[in-house]
Structure 1
Amino acid sequence: MLTSRDVRFSVAPMMDWTDRHCRYFHRILSRRARLYTEMLTSAAVIHGQRDRLLAFDQAEHPLAVQLGGSDPAELAAAAGICADFGYDEINLNVGCPSERVQSGAFGACLMLEPDLVGDCVSAMKARVALPVTIKCRIGVDEQDPVVALGELADAVIAAGADGLFVHARKAWLKGLSAKENRCVPPLDYGLVHDLKRRFPNVPIALNGGLASLDQMRAELSHVDGVMVGRAAYQDPALLLGVDPMLFGEPAPVADPAAAVEAFIPYVEARLAEGIPLHAMTRHLLGLFNGRSGARAWRRHLSTQAVRQGADAGVLRAALAYVQARRGIDAAA
């Protein structure tokens, strides 16, 4: 069973971003954040290279897998495979508006078929004992958001959904790119607040446009949780404030530099497996945004981590730039 505390803070599933290396680093920054995989299609889980697609480090828990698909039987089979891999939650994507997703008739397209989404939830619930949740929009195209979100919530909650993560914007399936769909349609937090009042016993989290911890804490007086995407990825140091501000617990590490030091053993272990350095360091580029040495940090990682044979020494050297800059500023 999913509780309101379980969904209090989550890092959103983001294609090409929230891979296993990103998630491991985010876990260093917060013990409490609920982490999500990139979206995996049900077909890929069933027919693809599962060890590569579904592998994760045990330190990443609590960890949810996000599935994309619209066939109830196929989603149930994929959910069963993910449960066997040890995930803590199955999340169904009902919000992505990308052309790839539209061509497969799932993601945000499913806002138009709430009964089918209910069938998908029911099938997955029948297969696994894990919580099954939905990440959705408030509607698509010309839909009335009040009606669209209400009908979807009715269908999935009746089917046994354990929680909803609502990106409080419409998705425009035609005329806007996936990137534009993340910021152009206006936000309607009030609609999500109303949904929570209507379903007081169902965990409901708000997603979209959340950028500061103060803003997130304020929203927690209306909903059970907040889900943050780009803000957490582009400024990962934000996560250092999650445990203290939202859970009343100390942060796992003292500052961004300590997080880098804690990440290095993981980096060295993955390098030994043949994973290139840049596959991991690309998730750290924004770590010192707004701090002294941020430009030198980004420049060094961007140019040196991609070189053949690059090792953890690149990270240490980049960190030295930051610490040197801090020393200069302190002396001034």
Structure 2
Amino acid sequence: MMSASDLCATEDTVLLLLDYLVDPLLPARPSSRDIPSESLQQSVAKQVHAVVLLHNYYHIKQHRQLKFEGFESFSKLAVVLKPTLLAHMKLLQRSNDSELDDPDKQLSVTEKKIMDACDISNSLDASKDIPSTEGWPISKVAVLLIDSRKENCFLKHSSMTEGVFSLIEKDLDVSSCISEVMSEGKQKRKKIKVTRNFFEDAVDEDTLQQVAFSAVKEAADGKGINQNELIIIRSDVAYSLSKEKTMARFYIMQCKESKSDDVFEIPIRDAIDSSLQGPLVTKSSGKWTVTQVVDYFHLLPYAGIMSDWLSSPTTLPNCWNQSAVLQYMELFHLHNIYVQSGTPIEEKTFLACIILYFS
């Protein structure tokens, strides 16, 4: 059982995350005279959004005895810990306690992001091992782009949260989507705009794949990657951290052609095995610090899918020749035949050990 000294308190965890993700954008001292620019407000809001998700979902999921901090309590806590954040809070600067009846006008962009992140965290429900996502529509696509040898991957940096890695992601664009339907009572076709809800519910796989290819093209602009060089080797769905009660269509795409190292810079195993496991904060020499999980937290919704793919027999490194594959299969079957005690291990577990041994 975990002792109290092994658990980082809510205030300490939030402060660590604010120091790491938000503090670099804030002035050294609070000032009522300085009004943050619109661009700074947007930047701070994105960082605070990440802090809320990290604490209210991922940290509490690992330590379920902790309390979920709602919009009001989290906003107040953040300002107590970082007084310079008050300049980014409209609601907390009001002198009266009137009800919140028009959030768009009464809340700052940072407060809206806090509210959104609280809603997302609440819907994911940290008390459950796996979120209940039945019926949630797809609102974006996400792509893990890997090299021809299935060894390295392309990740974006600071595109969603400053200082944090993420997959290639793109929201579904509904503004340009139109559908031809028969207008009621008339024998002619009429073009109408598709509503957001209709689009999210009815979007087809071909459209999703085209959005994914488009996202890769935009992200890898100037790096010499063409669509005809890409193949989809795995697809799935995962919960989204961008919008409450929505899903992301997830693709693993492989670039068939060899590219320079500046395109695929990050070893896949480092990104998945080393960076997506363990706590968000850890104590070292009596001091709490954030871990590298924070640097990769945007990949966490897809961690299980990527780990499963990575341990699949179809994910053997391309450098393995046919002889090596046959030797691997023979070793696996011999192990399960001659094992003397316990339960024979699963093939994907054995494969992971073999790959680790040869890597």
TM range, smaller chain: 0.3 to 0.5
Greater strand share, structure number:
2
Length-normalised TM-score, structure 2: 0.30
Larger radius of gyration: 2
Length-normalised TM-score, structure 1: 0.32
Greater helix share, structure number:
1
